[in-house]
Amino acid sequence: MKAEYITTRQTMRELAEKYGIEESGIRRRSSAEGWVQARKDYRSSIVEKTTARLGDEAAERMVRLMDSTERVLAAAEQALTDTQQFNRHLVQVSSEGEKYTEEQTFKKVDTKAMKEMTTVLKDLTALTRDLYGLPDKPQEKQVIEVVFNAGDEEWNE
* Residue 92 within a domain: no
Q: Which residues of 53-85 are buried (b: 16+ CB within 10 A; e: fewer)?
A: eeeeeeeeeeeeeeeebeeebeeeeeeeeeeee
Work out the mean pLDDT of the chain and round it to a whole number.
Answer: 85
Residue type, 14: E
CB 92 within 8 A of CB 99: yes
Q: Give the model confidence (pLDDT) of 87-130 as tens digits.
A: 988 899 998 889 999 999 999 888 988 899 999 989 988 888 88
Is pLDDT above 60 for 155? no
* Residue 53 within a domain: yes
The distance of Cα 18 from the centroid of its chain, to the nearest Å, equals 45
* Residue 51 within a domain: yes
* Residue 68 within a domain: yes
Distance CA 107, CA 117 (A): 19
* Residue 59 within a domain: yes
* Residue 143 within a domain: no
Quote the pTM value. 0.48
Apex 61 CA angle, 57 and 67, nearest 5: 145
Which residues span the domain enclosing 36? 1-81
* Residue 65 within a domain: yes
Is pLDDT above 60 for 142? yes
Q: Give the model confidence (pLDDT) of 32-49 as tens digits.
A: 999 999 999 999 898 888
